[in-house]
Every structure is written in structure tokens, then in C-alpha cells.
Amino acid sequence: MNIYLIRHGRQNSKSYNVDVPLAAEGIEQARLLGERLSKYNIDAVYSSDLIRAVETADIVNEHIKKPRIVDKRLRETDFGGFTGLSDEELKDSYREFLKRRVSMTEDEPYPDGGENCQMVYERAFSVLQEIVKKDYDNVCLVIHGGTIRALLTGILGADYAKWLVFGRQIENTSITELLYDEKMGTFHIERFNDYAHIEGKDHLLRKHFGKGFFSIVK
């Protein structure tokens, strides 16, 4: 079984993990992704229940026209006190936490009730465990950057504190592919952060949206 992990299209706000619709660029990204995935023989389209993921998956499914499943276990990491803040506000309120986080020495939950990598992995991986029991050959999951990092970290059996190793920038609507071997019961990472469908359109690249936590603590 091929499992395609897709980061949602660009949302219309730079505040952290607010539940908002896609920006115009995100709609364009999703349309280009849908055209690409229409050749992949996808059997089902899953997404988290956050608006940006739902909208991306729905646009993709206009090209695929397969069953749509929404599952809140596929949500982005709960950012706790970060939720709704800007980069500048994070610098003022959570600078020391950010320094610890980017050092990748401990799988510390986001402050004020947020999640850590292990928590995200365990809830999201439970969805994969259900999917691999179904009669699919190809399935795509429209999810989030943190969720993709957590799944890859857990599947590798790596130190959860190292989840930021997976991409300083995971591009919006990029494809990360897992192969599940039904006979062996094992997952294999076949590709990561493939954004060929938007590569020739510079305005759609994530460098025009944000630079991530590493840039905040410099």
C-alpha cells in the first residue's frame, strides 16, 4: 500500500495554528496537487478536520472523486500557548522555550497545555494502523507539517526530540510517500517533501510565507 502524506495548502493567516481557510495561493497549490494526484490511482482521500486541510483535500478530490474521510486525530500539533500568536509575539513570550526546542534535546510539550512529538505520533499513527487494514492500494492523507514530522520520527523509531530534523521547510502541498509492506507489517519512507508540481511557480513556495522557529531564535 502506498500512503501519501500531504501538507495542506497555504492558509490565509501567519498566526500559529489558527483554524482558517486557504489563501488564494493555497487554492492554487491544491489545484496543482489535484492534477498531479489524479494520475496516482488514489482510492480514498483522508484529511484532518482543520479548515485548511479539509479545503485542500476537497479541491484534490475534485480531480480524484473518491471517498472522503475526515479524522480529527490527523490534526496539527496542539501548540498550546503559541496558538494564534505571531512570530514577534513568540519572541516576547516564549523565547527560552524556543531555544530549547530548536536544540532538539528533549521532547518537551508546547507550553500551556500543548502537545509534544510523541503525543502527536501516537494519535496520528492510530489512523495509519486502521488504514493499512483496509483494501486500499493508494491513499492520501492531507495533514500538517508537525503531524508529518511526528509520523516519520515515530516510524523510524528515532528520538522524538529530533523531529525538527525533518525539513526546515516542508512545502505546502508537498508529497511524502510511505510504503506499507502488508506481508512484513513494516512502513518504509519512499520520498519526502516532493513539491515538483509547484516548483516552477516561485510565488507558491513557502519562503514567501514564513521561515519557521529557527529564524525566530537567531
Domain that holds residue 99: 2-216
Q: Enter the pTM of the model.
A: 0.95
Report the domain count for the chain. 1
In order of 3, 44, 125, the CA distances from 183 in angstroms are 16, 22, 19
Closest CA to 150 of 132, 123, 185: 123
- What grid cell was written down for 162? 529530533
Sheet containing 138-143, strands listed edge to edge, beginning at the edge strand earlier in sequence: 68-70, 44-47, 138-143, 2-7, 175-181, 186-194
Q: Which residues pair with 24 in a beta bridge?
A: none
The answer to whether 50 and 76 are in contact (CB under 8 A) is yes
Residue 88 has pLDDT above 90, yes or no: no
pLDDT band at 216 (very low <50, low <70, confident <90, very high): low
Residue 213 has pLDDT above 80, yes or no: no
% of the chain residues with pLDDT over 70: 96
- What grid cell was written down for 176? 511524502
pLDDT tens figures, 33-71: 999 999 999 999 999 999 999 999 999 999 999 999 999
Report the CATH number that the domain containing residue 185 is assigned in CATH: 3.40.50.1240
